[in-house]
Amino acid sequence: MRYDFGDVITAMITPFNEDLSIDYPALEKLVNHLLNTGSDAILVAGTTGETPTLSHEEEYEIFKFVKKVVNGRVKLIMGAGSNSTETAVNSSIKAKELGADAILTVVPYYNKPSQKGMYEHFSAIAKSVDLPIILYNIPGRTGVNMQPVTIAKLAKEFKNIVAVKQSNSDLDLISDIKSMCPDDFAVYSGDDSLTLPMMSLGASGVISVASHIAGKDLKDMVSAFKSGNNKEALKKHIYLYPLFRKLFMAPNPVPVKAALAHFGLIKEYVRKPLVTLDEEEKKELYTVLNNYSI
């Protein structure tokens, strides 16, 4: 690979206090938990971190805090996406200044750019910084799908565009990406439940939400597959599958925050327009969580 982020990258949540300020003691506890349970890298200020309701200043302060806690133990990736190319470029430059090891940058959302518009958007970002860049394709949130031919064009023209986080259930697209892109260009699953199927088609690992709860098991699943123990990898996938499903029973990161609160790591507060699970939803989630320990 052009750049190795490891097998499991955690897209980290942002813990809040009751007044919805950043809960930094819980954040420190969470970072150390992730480092102790299999995360090879941490993504700060991604969508799972509730960036739609974080200010840029809060994102920068969170990153600086996490970087201090991590102290070089794993790679840190910073979310630097926007549906404004200028804002995405400026965020990417700021990520470089803050010492990020790489950035994740999403397909522009809401304004639905054409494939040419996506190419121009990511080209501008790639030209603005020399950091490794992970493209983020998530049509369920952006309203548009970045086609494999566009991903391949970017991967071939820009050496610092090193990977794509693919959150699309159409697995044929993984085959297209792998066949069109350079051999050293990496694909990461953006959906925990699709990690094993995507790896069978050449994906390198996962940018995960479930790793907050079951990082060791997820890491074991990926490692088993890479070592050729497909039977064990499938066994781990089947074990984790109920968790994968329940962590998306409501908009992310609401369920994973409820799960982390259930295990005593954080408080479950989210910023509006997200709302916490109701009591019936919590009972449903906890029934599944009882099969796991963190």
**pLDDT digit string, tens, across residues 70-86:** 999 999 999 999 999 99
pLDDT surpasses 90 at 55: yes
Residue 1: pLDDT band with limits 50, 70, 90: confident
Residue 96: pLDDT band with limits 50, 70, 90: very high
pLDDT given for residue 281 in this prediction: 98
Bridging pattern class, strands 133-137 and 102-106: parallel
Which of the residues 67, 75, 165, 282 is marked catalytic? 165
DSSP collapsed to 3 states, 242-262 = HHHHHCCCCCCCHHHHHHHHH
Query: Which amino acid, residue 193?
Result: S
**CA torsion angle 27 59 110 10 (round to 10):** -40
**pLDDT digit string, tens, across residues 21-51:** 999 999 999 999 999 999 999 999 999 999 9
Question: Which helix (H) or strand (E) element contains residue 153?
Answer: helix 148-157
Helices (H), 4-55: 24-36
Task: Locate 203 and state its tokens.
Answer: 């994906």
For the full predicted model, state whether its pTM sits above 0.85.
yes
Which of the residues 60, 136, 188, 269 is marked catalytic? 136
pLDDT given for residue 294 in this prediction: 87
**pLDDT digit string, tens, across residues 126-180:** 999 999 999 999 999 999 999 999 999 999 999 999 999 999 999 999 999 999 9
DSSP 192-212: GGGHHHHHHTT--EEEESTHH
Residue 119 known to be catalytic:
no
Residue 29 known to be catalytic:
no
- Spatial separation of the C-alpha atoms in residues 211 and 97, rounded to whole Å: 28
CATH homologous superfamily of 8-229: Aldolase class I (3.20.20.70)
Let me know: does 222 contact 38? Beta carbons within 8 Å. Answer: no
Residue ranges per domain, the chain? 8-229
Query: Which amino acid, residue 157?
Result: E
- Spatial separation of the C-alpha atoms in residues 161 and 155, rounded to whole Å: 6
- Spatial separation of the C-alpha atoms in residues 245 and 240, rounded to whole Å: 9
